[in-house]
Chains A and B, each alone.
Chain A
Amino acid sequence: MRNAERLCLAHFWVAFAAFLFACAIGTWQMWVRSPLGANVGTPGQYFMSVTAHGVSMAYVLTTFFIMGFGYFVAVTALNRALPGKLWAWAAYWVALLGVVLTVIPIATGQASVLFTFYPPLTASVWFYIGLVLVVAASWIWCVLMLIAMTQWKRENPGRPVPLAMFATVANAVMWLWTTVGVAVELVFQVIPAAMGLVQTIDVGLARTLFSWTLHAIVYFWLIPAYIAFYTMAPRAAGGRLYSDTMGRLTFILFLIYSLPVGMHHLLMDPEHGNATKFIQVLLTAFVAVPTLLTIFTITASLEIAGRLRGGRGIFGWIASLPWERPMVLATGLSFVMLGFGGFGGIVNMGYGMNAMVHNTSWVTAHFHLIFGGSVVIMYFAIAYAIWPRLTGREYKTLGPLRLQLWLWFIGMMVMTLPWHWLGLQGQWRRVANFNYADPIIAAWGPWVVVSFAGGIILLASAVLFVANLAALHRSPALGIVRPLYALAVHPPLRVPAALNGFALWNVLVLVLMIAAYGYPIAQFLIDPSPGAIVHRVR
């Protein structure tokens, strides 16, 4: 176990170092976009900073956190040693090498292409090679998760895989499917273009392949939060999980409906027909189902806990929940942000409303609220929950932890709600600065300043988060190790193979992917479009 703890901590500290750095430059970006910092820095510096922020948050924080958390779950939920520990360490070092290779071209201004892979703009080839290494390392993680579950099932025939591990493997399987799109785009299109082997690139094909990855990657980041909702929050609240089956169904629905839906990111693109867009938007609507299932199940689980603690009446159980515990508090705050963010997501999903918000700040605000808010606050809660086990030490007081979570929630709401509003006003995204001398833009100014204030609160929260974790390394030794994972009200004694593995679901994903992406990708090969000239950032 000792070695596994070091493995998890090594992953988490890379993730959180990248997170702290990205928060700092994110705050700088909020400043230079506001009237207070207008004309500070050049557009080149701004886009370099946005690239570094996006890559750190979207690829480094998430991938390292998810890998570390997966190893933790594989050891603690299955209660057995991690298979292939050497492979896990090798994957860690490969991913770290990938990060270094990616950071160098960003820092030298040779990769200011933001964190999305939209040619014809291409960065230094090292930027892409670095990111491919990070993804390749995460594939090793996926295989290790699959092996851990398979070995456990062999040792425990007929028994249901613990929900936390089932969900982790669902995420690994989804990630293997997800990364195919971007891997094909990078290996066959972007990297040859960045190396100068080809001079033109089929932009429509590249965007389509990226859309394959683009939505499911968000669920890859999100699933750890849902694992915490299902397996940790009910226990932390002093209750039980309302339904284990509901949990399994949720993660399965994420697996099948996060993939054939990416084209809703291309609703304004001309390279696809209306019918394809319609089918994918319809399937997108089904992504709401696992989230609604989760809201219901977790609320029910918390109600059980609240009533066990003496809560009475329709809402009395809410007040009686142990809100002083970080996991419970984070779950509550996350749900509030999920409510606002989910509503925004439904707006983005509709073709007509998407047309109005597509190139505005609304979209940027949406993904900050839903990922940076509801998901990342659960990353904090998970880190707080498992850090005592990883370090063998316990918190002297939970006060600073609660303060940090509240600051993150308040900061995120203060930053993103005005940002959404600005998007509705027409504030465009992906621009380096605004001309506040223009009267229309000047009217946005106060809201941008409020947003910036939210950014400062978030930075303070990020610093406190890292300080809280660092402080634990010097705290007194842990007395009692409390159980982490929640039992279900009716613990599953037997589950059908469909809810205990992924064979059936992989077949269905294949069917859905062929239906959703078969012709849309084939059309580029049947009737190739004129290529766009590659623009290399040097």
Chain B
Amino acid sequence: MPDITPRPSEPHVLDQPWRMWSSVAVVGILLSGILLGVLVIPIVQGRSVGIDAYTAICRALGILPGSPAQPQSPTPLPGIPVSQVTWTSDLLQILARADVRRGHAKVQEVCVACHGEKGESIGVEFPHLAGQSGAAIYKQLFDYRTGSRAHPMMTDVAKALDEAAIADVAAYYAGQPQRNPNLVTMAESPPAIVQLVELGDPKRNIAPCSSCHRAGAGGPIETPVLAEQRAEYIVQQLKLYASGKRRNDVYARMRTIAAQLTDEEIRGLAFYYRAGFR
């Protein structure tokens, strides 16, 4: 039986070559990767499509946009965005710093006639604004102002407001308490409508309404609160989206969905949301 008891080693003799050769191997592999990835491949790829070496290398590193292997297409015609609102952190600061008192004053001066001082509208064609998301109100007023959305009255009203006043008004209405649920309309909605709200209809590519319009759903920031809204207003807006007359929804989300809804579903959804959430 050979003696296999571990004995103290003499590491210093062994250390030097290990340190050197493992460093050479690891750094060598790395350098060959850098040589290939940063220099050889971009230059060869660039040459084959007529891109100079410097540009190709900068593109490979991500310093210049585009791929080293494809000529950058000539600048296309600038797209016309459906809305001029960009949710930058500056804009979010403007909304966060909005002055509710100034907003109240502006509301009494301008909005009160249709939307009410507390955000409860006076007629079925005007939306309630009490407790509406401030970002949603801001976006719609800004869109009226820039012409992304049009309305015989609202376009002129919004054009008379500056950006700060829009933020103030939005903050004021957002701070108003939502209306109490209307017990009369709290009657159960048909299961098909509830399904549309909660599960959507994948067959028609309709996402569930609740995936954006449920509080805290994590949808786009401008998504409006629909609970306890005027049913007539919801019907009217869904039909405007369906016909393409209203087109300030980013990525045509609502136009795509509304165009696939039947009149009966539009009515059902409007009544569902008028009743508030259960």
Contact = CB atoms under 8 A, between A and B. Distances in A.
B124 interface: no
Nearest to A109: B216
7 contacts: A42-B199, A275-B37, A278-B33, A433-B202, A438-B202, A494-B11, A536-B216
B interface majority secondary structure: helix
A282 B36 contact: yes
Contacts of A158: 8-11
A256 B33 contact: no
Give the 7 A-B residue pairs with the shortest CB-CB distance, closest first.
A494-B9, A273-B62, A538-B216, A278-B37, A158-B8, A435-B202, A496-B14
A274 B202 contact: no
B4 interface: yes
Interface stretch (A17-25, A332-340, A418-426, A485-493): A485-493
Contacts of B23: 504, 508
Interface of B: 4, 6-11, 14-15, 18-19, 22-23, 26-27, 29-30, 32-34, 36-38, 41-42, 57, 59-63, 67-69, 87-89, 92-93, 96, 198-199, 202-203, 208, 211, 215-216, 218-219, 221
B211 A157 contact: no
Nearest to A526: B63
Given A275-B37, A496-B18, 18 more contacts: A42-B198, A274-B62, A275-B42, A275-B57, A279-B30, A279-B34, A279-B38, A283-B29, A435-B202, A437-B202, A492-B6, A508-B26, A515-B30, A523-B62, A531-B89, A535-B219, A537-B216, A538-B215
A158 B6 CA distance: 10
Contact of A496 (B11, B32, B62, B219): B11
Nearest to A496: B14
Interface centre among A434, A523, A533, A537 (most CB of B within 10 A): A533
B68 A199 contact: no
Contacts of A435: 202-203
Given A159-B6, A435-B202, A515-B34, A286 B15 contact: no
Contacts of A274: 37, 41-42, 59-60, 62, 67-69
A275 B198 contact: no
Contacts of B38: 275, 279
Contact of B9 (A39, A437, A493): A493
A283 B218 CA distance: 37
Interface string A341-377: 0000000000000000000000000000000000000
A531 B221 CA distance: 14
A260 to B, nearest CB: 8
Interface of A: 39, 42-43, 121, 157-160, 198-200, 256, 271-279, 282-283, 286, 433-435, 437-438, 487, 491-500, 504, 508, 511-512, 515, 519-520, 523, 530-531, 533, 535-538
Contacts of B88: 200, 530-531
Nearest to B11: A497
B207 to A, nearest CB: 10
A276 B8 contact: no
Contacts of B42: 274-275
Nearest to A515: B30
Contact of A512 (B10, B30, B36): B30
Nearest to B208: A43
A531 B88 CA distance: 7
B7 A493 contact: yes
B209 to A, nearest CB: 12
Contact of A536 (B29, B62, B211, B218): B218
A523 B64 CA distance: 12
Contacts of B208: 43
A482 B64 CA distance: 64
Nearest to B38: A275
A438 B22 contact: no
B20 to A, nearest CB: 10
Contact of B61 (A496, A519, A530): A519
A233 to B, nearest CB: 20
Contacts of B8: 157-159, 494
A498 B22 contact: yes
A238 B34 CA distance: 46
Contacts of B34: 275, 279, 515
B59 A273 contact: yes
Nearest to A519: B61
Contact of A497 (B15, B61, B68): B15
Nearest to B26: A508
A282 B14 contact: no
Contact of A160 (B6, B18, B89): B6
A500 B18 CA distance: 12
Contacts of A523: 62
Contacts of B92: 199-200, 533
A494 B36 CA distance: 39
Given A121-B218, A282-B36, A272 B62 contact: yes
B1 to A, nearest CB: 13
Nearest to B207: A43
Contact of B87 (A42, A121, A157, A533): A533
Nearest to A41: B199
Contact of A283 (B7, B22, B30, B93): B30
B7 A508 contact: no
Nearest to A277: B37
Contacts of A533: 87, 92, 221
